[in-house]
Amino acid sequence: MDLNVDEPIAALASPPGGSSRGIIRISGHNVRSILSEWFEPDDVHAWNGAKSAQSHTGRLVLNGLEEPLRCPVHALYWPTRRSYTGQPLIELHLPGSPSLLEETLQTAFRHGSRPARPGEFTLRAFLAGKLDLLQAEAVLGVIDARNQVELQTALGQLAGGISGRLATLRRDLLELLADLEAGLDFIEEDIEFVSRAEVVARLSDARGFVESLVAQTRDRMVSRVRPRVVLAGLPNAGKSTLFNRLIGRNLAIVSPEQGTTRDFLVRAVEWNDLSFDLVDTAGWEESADGIGAAAQTHRATQLKQSDLLIWCTAATLSDDERQQDDALFEASRDQARVTLRLMTKIDLAPAKAILLKEKNGVSAVSDLGLIPLKADIQRHLSSDHAGRSEWLGVTAARCRETLDAITVALGRAQSVAQVKASGDELIAVDLRDALEHLGVILGTIYTDDILDRIFSKFCIGK
């Protein structure tokens, strides 16, 4: 990777295609001189003497078919390193005609800039210390977010939520390492800067924190881009009818006979700003035949991968069936992340009014209780209980093995610290190992291949 960050680069920063306004971004050393030859500012003195971020109006002088074309423009100019990229930067806001934007870019290239590579503006922000590596990945997360939950996760990571907690961990470990190394410098004077009991306690706290992050990354790596809502329950519990009502079409086969659904169905559901996959599973029963057994295996997989399990209990169950339903519901709770128990077929129940009042009953046939159910689904998928993580999926994938290595290093240090006869230098070795891996996550330690892998996923202009 070419890390010559002073070389001026330019790219389209707004989405491709026609629009009322387009944006060209130019960043690098002496960007004002690149623009000065073909930019006519309304206030020449303000443009030439700008020492802080300012907006300048004027006209771009571009090549025309017969004579130069003068296009009105707003030039946002950051003459110092207090810009997004940490270097002089200009954004040109002009009419969003694709041909006009293309000619503007070509003119910028002819006057000393080169085309930016994917993610190069954010890469320069990272190298300038404006963002750490987690925040840089969050920029891509904001761009690619497909629903409100993903956007909030990306914005939280971009704002430094997880970065701040990891930076605090790094500072605590550095302070502990400094205390240990200070004691090693005065080992002959028998001066103790930190007690062994305190070392063990601080290492235990650090390890517990990292283990909680490992659990979060594991959840993110099994989660899909879209949340998954799974319908489960005994055979003939009304799951397929409810599935059809929630997706708005008759897709699942509905029959009064038990065992009609032998496989699982998946369909995308779009409710305003909420998008998720709805899964209809086979009824919970033991089956010896090949198809039935496969259906039960698929159901178990769907439960483990669900963001919300809706357990359907028919209001028409007998006492024996209710006991079986209760037992299977408890078993399903151990496999699913979040569960919601729902009484179905309440139009056939004598206590219909009570069930509706508790907002846990529906009749998919007559639409009773569907509105409260939809509100419950939206609430669960929009809450922390739906498995929302501080980590973006791409970040979790990158950091999972490194977090495991940190846990191992801290575990070794803790084990050594618990042996009174062991020396502090052995603990310090493992602490340095943990800090090195932590630096890889935050980007204080990086290699070209890591940066290539991350920033190559960006679009050009970001």
DSSP characters over 159-185: TTHHHHHHHHHHHHHHHHHHHHHHHHH
DSSP characters over 178-207: HHHHHHHHTGGGT--SS-HHHHHHHHHHHH
pLDDT of residue 46: 93
* 3-class DSSP assignment, residue 312: strand
* 3-class DSSP assignment, residue 274: strand
Instruction: Answer whether CATH 3.40.190.10 is correct for domain 228-386.
Output: no
Residues 6+ apart with CB under 8 A from 159: none
For the chain, domain boundaries: 9-130, 143-221+391-443, 228-386
pLDDT tens across 205-250, in order? 999 999 888 877 665 544 445 788 999 999 888 898 999 989 887 7
Q: What is the CATH number of domain 143-221+391-443?
A: 1.20.120.430
pLDDT of residue 259: 47
- Closest to 335 in 3D by CA, of 358, 364, 301, 362: 301
| The architecture CATH gives domain 9-130 | 2-Layer Sandwich (3.30)
CB atoms within 10 A of CB 168: 11
- Closest to 47 in 3D by CA, of 38, 62, 36: 36
pLDDT of residue 164: 85
Low-confidence residues of the chain, pLDDT below 50? 221-224, 255, 258-262, 288, 290-291, 353, 355-357, 384-387
State the pTM of this model: 0.58
